Structure 1
Amino acid sequence: MATPRRDTRGIVDAADFLARVRFRRPEPAPPLRPYVEHYWLIDWDLTEPYVSHVVPHPAVHLVFQRFEGQEPFVEIAGVQQGLFTQKLEGRGRVCGVKFRPGGFRPFAPEHPVSHWTGRRVHLTGTDPAPVLDPAGEEARVAALDAHLLAARIPRPDPQADLAMTLVDRIRTDRAIRKVADLASDEGLSVRLIQRLFAAYVGVGPKWVILRYRIHEALERAEAEQTVDWAALAADLGYADQAHLVRDFTTTVGVPPATYARHRSS
């Protein structure tokens, strides 16, 4: 079982984001860890508005939110396929649950996870105060644990376990560059994997492969002064640099070289 990530993959202009907000990723209670990758807590107190951008992961989130001038609310956020943009101003707080890709379905078995893809659904009747009100981080984490544990730990689901295993394999194994590669290595058909991902992840395996490539390219652009984009494209399994540039530009909104120049300046 993978531990919470400590990287900044998916956060656009991560250094600027982390300079403006207080961002933490604590672990959930042990019984929840097979299903939940981590919690994420964000607090801000800004003198001027700030717009954050995230290239989303293939994960469903349960999010408790308080924005200045609005009533607090709770929502389920399915996998967002485009760039996620959020304006932050004044003071606010967000406490989120990031389910492992494949880990949300056992808590909501009535729908395939593709039912939630691209959607942000407010949960009426769920009080956000127990999670958002505590000043201390430990109390908020305990409240998130209590909220999920109150629904009871789901019954074992081998299909959920398989989906989580396959997504983690895509995330960590650079040799997996095509869905056919994954299917061959796992002894499964491409069609079976596609159906499994629709039911338990919410997006197709090809989308997941491409998204993790962009996450790595984005992080390299954040971390390195000079990026050899042709070499990186080859390393990530692209046919050529042009294909990486196309996917990066479509996802992030600017070409990778432009993004890197902006970061260095």
Structure 2
Amino acid sequence: MAAPRHDTRGIVDPSGLLTRVRFRRHEPAEPLRRYVEWYWLIDWDLPEPYVSHIVPHPAVNLTFQWDEDEGPPYGELTGVALGLYARKLAGRGRVCGAKFRPGGFRPFAPGVPVTHWTGRVLPAHEAFERAGGDTPRSVVAPAGDAERVAALDAFLLSLPWAPDPQADLAVELVEHIRTDRAVLRVGDLARDRGRSVRSLQRLFSAYVGVAPKWVILRYRIHEALELAGHRRDVDWAALAADLGYADQAHLVRDFTATVGVSPAAYAQAVSQAPAA
């Protein structure tokens, strides 16, 4: 499996976030890399509150957070978020998260389809009994990254998970969608893999938590968001055609519905945002 990527795909106004927090990614222990993409750690000490916005990946996240002025550490499980995800950061705090590979969470909770978690944020102990008690503090309290990563490894390795060929297939298919811009339609993907559209839909429902068409659309929006955040001269009509949209209006509609503003308005806002 590849090492954690360093891109900011999915982060709305990444410079605004990264000038306010200390953000890192680390690899999990080797046995976990099959299904856990990376650990992400954030620390902050803010003079005023800040709300981060994310256009989420089609992935489940397990997080342990400590808002030091608010109370003790706690854990949360976040299923695939269907809309824009907002998180308020204030005072001093830290988050230690495990981002499961899209399609890779089911082996850790094999009893239910991943759609069970989609759109939900719930206390981690409701998904994993062992995530309660002292576990959140054991993960976020250490000062060093190595100790926090070791605590995340220890927790996940303690869970009774096992390899699942269907999860392996789901992980591979989502990664193919993410990396191959030629994948624009579910029917084309199904034909390339010698499967029916319905079989892909069942697999994605059980193992990814969203439909394959949703995954294709989400990665299109990620690409448009990335370009809008770095360039003012994007040819939106050409990009819409490149991403498989019928026309520019359809791309603008999906981008606006997901991010909350049009691509052009987002590009202008990011370019004019003052440094923190």
Name the TM tier (shorter chain).
over 0.9
CA drift at 1:130: 0.8
User: What amino acid does structure 2 have at the position aligned with 1:208?
Assistant: V
Partner of 2:129: none
Distance 2:150 2:99 in 1: 15
Distance 1:15 1:156 in 2: 38
1:118-147: per-residue Cα shift (whole Å, max 9, x none)? 111103424201100000011100110111
CA drift at 1:89: 0.7
Over the aligned positions, Cα root-mean-square deviation in angstroms equals 1.0
Partner of 1:232: 239
The percentage of counterpart residues that share the same residue type is 69
Greater than 3 Å deviation, 4+ residue runs = none
CA drift at 1:71: 2.8
- Residues 1:263 and 2:264 aligned together: no
Partner of 1:53: 53
User: What amino acid does structure 2 have at the position aligned with 1:203?
Assistant: V
Distance 2:265 2:110 in 1: 43
Partner of 1:178: 185
SS in 2 for 1:62: strand
* Corresponding residue to 2:146 among 128, 138, 148: 138
Partner of 1:190: 197
1:66-118: per-residue Cα shift (whole Å, max 9, x none)? 11313321111100101000111100100000000111100100110000001
TM-score w.r.t. the length of structure 1 is 0.97
Is the deviation greater in 1-10 or in 27-36? 1-10
CA drift at 1:150: 1.2
2:230–2:267 Cα contact (<8 Å) kept: no
User: What amino acid does structure 2 have at the position aligned with 1:46?
Assistant: L
* Corresponding residue to 2:158 among 150, 153, 158: 150
User: What amino acid does structure 2 have at the position aligned with 1:130?
Assistant: S
SS in 1 for 2:209: coil
Distance 2:21 2:52 in 1: 10
Number of residues of Structure 1 aligned to a counterpart in Structure 2: 264
2:62–2:124 Cα contact (<8 Å) kept: no
- Residues 1:16 and 2:16 aligned together: yes
TM-score w.r.t. the length of structure 2 is 0.93
